[in-house]
Amino acid sequence: MKNICLNIEKALGTVSKEQVFAREAESNACMATLHNGTGAGNDFLGWLHLPSSITDAELADIEQTAETLRSKCEVVVAIGIGGSYLGARAVIEAMSHSFDWLTTDRKNPVMFYAGHNIGEDYLYELCEILKGKQFGIINISKSGTTTEPAIAFRILKKQLEEAVGKEEAKHRIVAITDARKGALRTLATQEGYKTFVIPDNVGGRFSVLTPVGLLPIAVAGVNIRELVAGAVSMEKATDESVPFAENPAAIYAATRNELYKAGKKIEILCNFNPKLHYIAEWWKQLYGESEGKEGKGIFPAAVDLTTDLHSMGQWIQEGERTIFETVISVEAMEHSMIVPTDAENLDGLNFLAGKHVDEVNKMAELGTQLAHVDGGVPNLKISLPAITPYYIGQLFYFFEKACGISGYMLGVNPFNQPGVEAYKKNMFALLNKPGYEKESEAIKSRL
């Protein structure tokens, strides 16, 4: 089996190979800090050996629960936000038919998502579409107290209980939360829901390979064993014992930090395959929450190409030179589609006739890379042999490992997210939450 592969050659106009390799000792030290558990946030290192420690029994339990939901439901709503949402959606969108909801020979339930926004119209329309449908709910919240998913769950639980009765609803609701704490744990115990535990030492954005990601992914019909196997192989390929020069996570971490030092403050994750859109959303959370703190951190942005070459392309080519790109390049497509010949050739595209659509896409990718490099945008490339659960598993672990090293290189705790509390405090104060009386008074005086 091949591995995903990192190429930094096209970033070496801005930083030199020597500069990147001069970070070897630092990278090794950060790697050792991770593996010895001696750094900041060391109580959140459960992800580090997670792939290789998942047991067959755990996977079988997840698969069996998925099968129950699959047999009962035509739609399953995964409720969650941030790390309790993005990983599952990333895999499901990457592995599903692009027009999934309209396929007629369905083998898998339709997956919907809720609790990742507070959109009244979104929730109304979701409830409308679920009327008369056999649906189930996976409610995911590590803290068990996050407002967005809690609101969505209240609404959908009520609708489900009214539709199928309280007893049957219990068999269609699965809760994934902390082992002991939080409102969701209390509720699940009280109602008798099937539950899965999010380990204490795995933070939300590192939790895709726990039941948080694995259960919805399995419900959607994706092979979670392949996903985990891919992650296991990358756990080995990025291990502490692998020398810096051969360790893709270390090289990625070193290169992006060197680029940051050279003034490249924004990293744009680019894909040339629309199925990878939510992989980028997952990546944005991973790096944004891990590194953006103490007035530091590369801003993680993302574009879908060639789509966004017709919107963001101008900025990338000629805007402020503070960006670099990391392109996820997929080598082989699953399907074959040839550009047809046309007798009239009014669009002048007969020179493409007989070529695979992906051949055109690959030339767009290469042309874009060279244009952006010429425009002063350093380019890193991660090649994926194909979009499969195995390679996505590799990609997840690669990014997680690199993120841990990179955060320590930057000098921050990559495993906390103190900044996400500020909006919550204000929101609760504005909504007059009991216990927030002082904050309410203070914030209202500012309005």
Residue 143 near ligand PA5 by CB under 6 A:
yes
Catalytic residue numbers?
289, 310, 424
Residue 82 near ligand PA5 by CB under 6 A:
yes
Question: In the set 81, 202, 220, 380, which binds ligand PA5 (CB under 6 A)?
Answer: 81
Which part of the chain contacts ligand PA5 (CB under 6 A), choosing from 7-15, 104-112, 139-147, 362-370?
A: 139-147
The DSSP symbol for 244 reads G
Residue 11: name the closest of 209, 268, 202, 233 by CA.
268
Q: Measured from the CB atom, is 143 or 159 closer to ligand PA5?
A: 143
Q: What binding mask, one character per residue, do residues 202-221 give for ligand PA5 by CB under 6 A, x or -? A: -xxx----------------
The CA-based dihedral angle spanning residues 185, 190, 191, 193, taken in that order and rounded to the nearest 10 degrees: 40
Which part of the chain contacts ligand PA5 (CB under 6 A), choosing from 81-89, 98-106, 155-163, 362-370?
A: 81-89
Q: From its phi and psi, is residue 221 left (phi > 0), alpha (psi between -120 and 50) or beta?
A: left
Which part of the chain contacts ligand PA5 (CB under 6 A), choosing from 119-127, 201-209, 253-261, 316-324?
A: 201-209
Residue 142 near ligand PA5 by CB under 6 A:
yes
Residue 417 near ligand PA5 by CB under 6 A:
yes
Three-class SS state of 141: strand
Residues in contact with ligand PA5, counted by CB under 6 A, come to a total of 14
Q: Measured from the CB atom, is 32 or 420 closer to ligand PA5?
A: 420
Q: What binding mask, one character per residue, do residues 284-323 give for ligand PA5 by CB under 6 A, x or -? A: -----x----------------------------------
Beta-bridge mates of residue 296: 293
* Count of C-beta atoms within a 10 Å radius of residue 161: 17
Residue 146 near ligand PA5 by CB under 6 A:
yes
The CA-based dihedral angle spanning residues 139, 143, 147, 150, taken in that order and rounded to the nearest 10 degrees: 30
Tokens of 336: 């074959």
CA distances from 211 to 35, 52, 246 (A): 24, 15, 31
Q: Measured from the CB atom, is 258 or 289 closer to ligand PA5?
A: 289
Return the residues of window 230-289 that contact ligand PA5 according to CB under 6 A.
289
C-alpha span between 247 and 240 (Å, rounded): 9
Q: Is 56 exposed, middle or buried (0-12, 13-18, 19+ CB in 10 A)?
A: exposed
Q: Which amino acid is at 441?
A: E
The CA-based dihedral angle spanning residues 172, 97, 80, 268, taken in that order and rounded to the nearest 10 degrees: 170
Q: Measured from the CB atom, is 288 or 389 closer to ligand PA5?
A: 288
Return the residues of window 370-389 that contact ligand PA5 according to CB under 6 A.
none
Q: What binding mask, one character per residue, do residues 149-168 give for ligand PA5 by CB under 6 A, x or -? A: x-------------------
Residue 83 near ligand PA5 by CB under 6 A:
yes
C-alpha span between 11 and 442 (Å, rounded): 49
Q: Do residues 277 and 271 lie in contact, with contact meaning Cβ atoms separated by under 8 Å?
A: yes
* Count of C-beta atoms within a 10 Å radius of residue 412: 20
When CB distances to ligand PA5 are compared, the closest residue is 204
Return the residues of window 39-78 that contact ligand PA5 according to CB under 6 A.
none
Tokens of 221: 């019909």
Beta carbon of residue 85, minimum distance to ligand PA5 (angstroms, whole number) = 8
Residue 194 near ligand PA5 by CB under 6 A:
no
Q: Which residues bind ligand PA5 (CB under 6 A)?
A: 81-84, 141-143, 146, 149, 203-205, 289, 417
